A and B are shown apart, each in its own frame.
Chain A
Amino acid sequence: MGKNWTDRLPDLLQDYQEAPPEGLWDAVSSRMVSRKRRIPAAVWYVAGGLAAAAAAVLLLFLRPSAPVPSVTVVPGDLAQVTPGPVIPEPVPTTPVISGPNRESPAPKSDGGVPENGTPPAKTGQNDGDVPENGTPPSPEQEMADQVGHDEASVTVIPGSEPVIPRTERESPAPGLRVTLASSGMQQHASATTQGYGLPSGIITKASGEQDAPDYRMLGRNKPSTADTRYSRLPRWSLGVNIGLPFRLSLETGLVLSPLRTTAVAEVGSYHYETRTDQYYLGIPLYLQYSIWEGRRLGVYASGGPMYQFAVATRTRTTTTPLSGGNTQTIAEDKTLCRDALWSANLALGLQFRLFQHSALFVQPGVTWYFPGPEAPQSLYTEQRTAFELTFGYRVQLF
């Protein structure tokens, strides 16, 4: 047998039983039955999140097509184009490009009648030109005028060949943006349990403390009512947004999410309150799609996963004698409660460009949390779907 005598122990003890602790079944069954959640609030959050997601999907499919720039060519003479990312092609006639920040070439004083007799196109109203002959601008020119200064547009005179391809703005323009944001919405769930003895959510001894009084023994087998509340404090994030083609961009960065669990119980002669703050650091990877972008306002959809892991834990229990007396702290603990989880987020954002290279944004959305099977009880395990409102500031670097 020798050193392998320990191999017999599992067989020896496989049917060995001990009496379960007194009151265990009552405690288990009462916690199962008495669990209460804020179902009405959760329903609203889920409904709000689904509505935001549905709106994002609808907008993606039903968005109006971008205004189509048109090309104006005056064969043999002038074409007037407001600036934009234009890729010129060889043309039989030579276009002249003008815009709000450039001087328009003066029309030829001889009237500039092109070879085929078609009168020259009018410039946009932004340069103050008055058509020489007083003719009101053509519909195409009016459309070109209505296009923003930063849009490329070239008006086509019917019958002429469009020689400059249509320009399409792909926004957001490729580049790098830094984002600072905060999610101010606090979600919370709560549970009320009834049982015996001190609930496990109440810590009474910090790690490493060996000689502290055992409050658990004081409260053993005494009926207890515990209220536990789970919430998330304002979340902060710093992100980098990388612009891609086709109206897409990728955002990543760091997100700090503090979770708070407060457990309050009255057991025996004492009132206990434990507050646990668990800090998670998250790394998101969100894909954003610009649905619509105007001169100042923009609407976009965003979605993607985030990986979060716990980086700090702080727990503190205070107790107050029910007969009256001072509240005292009986346990403080900073042992990290290790945890990591994935989440998925879907949001719709509204952006307001304050200055040329920066914008404020507000972004309602919904997040689904996927905690592991052994995750500590927190908002992430008690309310796995959350509606969030994020607001922040983006600065374009280049």
Chain B
Amino acid sequence: MNPDEQELSRLVRSKDPDGIRCFYDRYAGYLAAVCSRYLTSEADVEDTLQESFLLMIDHMGRFEYRGAGSLKAWASRIVANQSLKLLRKNGRLTFLEDLPDLEEEEDFSLPDIPPGVIQEMIRSLPDGYRTVFNLFVFEKKSHKEIAALLGIKADSSASQFFRARAALVKKIKDYLKEQNNG
């Protein structure tokens, strides 16, 4: 069974068991990666993915196919929202402000690094940095939207994003140094 996204959404909407299994098999790995970018606890990832899949299956009627990749993007948004909900509920969204500013080089460019390594670097960021970074970079939200979502000021969102980016640059450089020495 290898339906396209539009057909797959139709099958899930009609609660076809094979369609639902196909939907799970196709996106579980990707959505697990999305979720673990937000949540560092394995138990939280498991719970959030469980809730997210049930939500997606129950509310597939609300999905409107808009071209290739739209179903994946829709599912990804649901997982991100559920992850955010859990972070808010568990009070894990702390925004570190009392740290010295990290200087970022103007001409830094992203080297070729395995995606898994980048993923782990993002996961290792503090909760607040990581959340703002994910929302800005992967969900393409503005700082104003992020501020409304997280209950912070837009300036704080921008500050958190800047710090997250600078921290990532440092991690990338440290990684490259290790690779060169190794």
The residues of A with any CB-CB pair to B shorter than 8 Å are: 1-3, 5-10, 12-13, 15-21, 23-25, 27-28, 31-32, 195, 197, 200, 205-209, 214, 216-217, 220, 335, 337, 373-374
**Contacting residues, chain B, for A195 (C-beta < 8 A):** 50
Given the contacts A2-B107, A10-B137, A13-B119, A18 and B29 also touching, CB distance less than 8 Å: yes
Q: How far is the CA of A375 from the CA of B42 in the complex (A)?
A: 24
| 15 residue pairs from A and B, CB less than 8 Å apart | A5-B108, A5-B110, A6-B165, A13-B138, A17-B29, A21-B42, A24-B50, A25-B24, A28-B50, A31-B50, A32-B20, A197-B43, A200-B47, A216-B47, A335-B89
Asked whether B100 is an interface residue with its Cβ less than 8 Å from the other chain, the reply is no
Residue from B20, B90, B116 in contact with A207 in the complex, judged by beta carbons closer than 8 Å = B90
B118 touching A13 by the CB < 8 A rule?
Answer: yes
Given the contacts A12-B118, A25-B24, A20 and B32 also touching, CB distance less than 8 Å: yes
Asked whether B36 is an interface residue with its Cβ less than 8 Å from the other chain, the reply is yes
A373 touching B47 by the CB < 8 A rule?
Answer: no
Query: Please, what's the 1-or-0 string for B24-64, where 1 marks a CB less than 8 Å from any CB in chain A?
Result: 10001111110010000011011101110111010100100
**Contacting residues, chain B, for A216 (C-beta < 8 A):** 43, 47
Residue from A3, A5, A205 in contact with B90 in the complex, judged by beta carbons closer than 8 Å = A205
Q: How far is the CA of A24 from the CA of B51 in the complex (A)?
A: 10
For chain B, the count of residues having a C-beta within 8 Å of the partner chain is: 45
Asked whether B109 is an interface residue with its Cβ less than 8 Å from the other chain, the reply is yes
A2 touching B106 by the CB < 8 A rule?
Answer: yes
B54 touching A28 by the CB < 8 A rule?
Answer: yes
Residue from B24, B32, B43 in contact with A19 in the complex, judged by beta carbons closer than 8 Å = B32
**Contacting residues, chain B, for A25 (C-beta < 8 A):** 21, 24, 28
**Contacting residues, chain A, for B144 (C-beta < 8 A):** none
B106 touching A24 by the CB < 8 A rule?
Answer: no
B43 touching A1 by the CB < 8 A rule?
Answer: no
For B161, the closest partner residue in chain A by CB is A6
**Contacting residues, chain A, for B55 (C-beta < 8 A):** 373-374
Asked whether B67 is an interface residue with its Cβ less than 8 Å from the other chain, the reply is no
Asked whether B81 is an interface residue with its Cβ less than 8 Å from the other chain, the reply is yes
**Contacting residues, chain A, for B138 (C-beta < 8 A):** 9-10, 13
A18 touching B32 by the CB < 8 A rule?
Answer: yes
Asked whether B153 is an interface residue with its Cβ less than 8 Å from the other chain, the reply is no
Q: How far is the CA of A208 from the CA of B91 in the complex (A)?
A: 5
What is the distance, in angstroms, from A303's C-beta to the closest C-beta of chain B?
27
**Contacting residues, chain A, for B59 (C-beta < 8 A):** 373
B107 touching A1 by the CB < 8 A rule?
Answer: yes
**Contacting residues, chain B, for A18 (C-beta < 8 A):** 29, 32-33, 36, 119
Residue from A6, A19, A27, A220 in contact with B137 in the complex, judged by beta carbons closer than 8 Å = A6
What is the distance, in angstroms, from A274's C-beta to the closest C-beta of chain B?
13
B89 touching A207 by the CB < 8 A rule?
Answer: yes
**Contacting residues, chain A, for B29 (C-beta < 8 A):** 17-20
**Contacting residues, chain A, for B173 (C-beta < 8 A):** none
A31 touching B54 by the CB < 8 A rule?
Answer: yes
Query: Please, what's the 1-or-0 string for B109-124, where 1 marks a CB less than 8 Å from any CB in chain A?
Result: 1100001101100000
**Contacting residues, chain A, for B62 (C-beta < 8 A):** 373
What is the distance, in angstroms, from B62's C-beta to the closest C-beta of chain A?
6
B89 touching A28 by the CB < 8 A rule?
Answer: no
Name 12 extra pairs, CB < 8 A, besides A6-B136, A27-B46, A373-B62. A2-B107, A9-B110, A12-B118, A13-B119, A16-B30, A21-B45, A21-B49, A24-B28, A200-B47, A207-B90, A216-B43, A220-B46
Residue from B36, B42, B108, B133 in contact with A2 in the complex, judged by beta carbons closer than 8 Å = B108
**Contacting residues, chain A, for B51 (C-beta < 8 A):** 200
Given the contacts A16-B30, A27-B50, A5 and B119 also touching, CB distance less than 8 Å: no
Q: How far is the CA of A335 from the CA of B116 in the complex (A)?
A: 35
What is the distance, in angstroms, from B59's C-beta to the closest C-beta of chain A?
6
Given the contacts A9-B118, A13-B119, A374-B85, A20 and B54 also touching, CB distance less than 8 Å: no
Asked whether B104 is an interface residue with its Cβ less than 8 Å from the other chain, the reply is yes
For A196, the closest partner residue in chain B by CB is B46
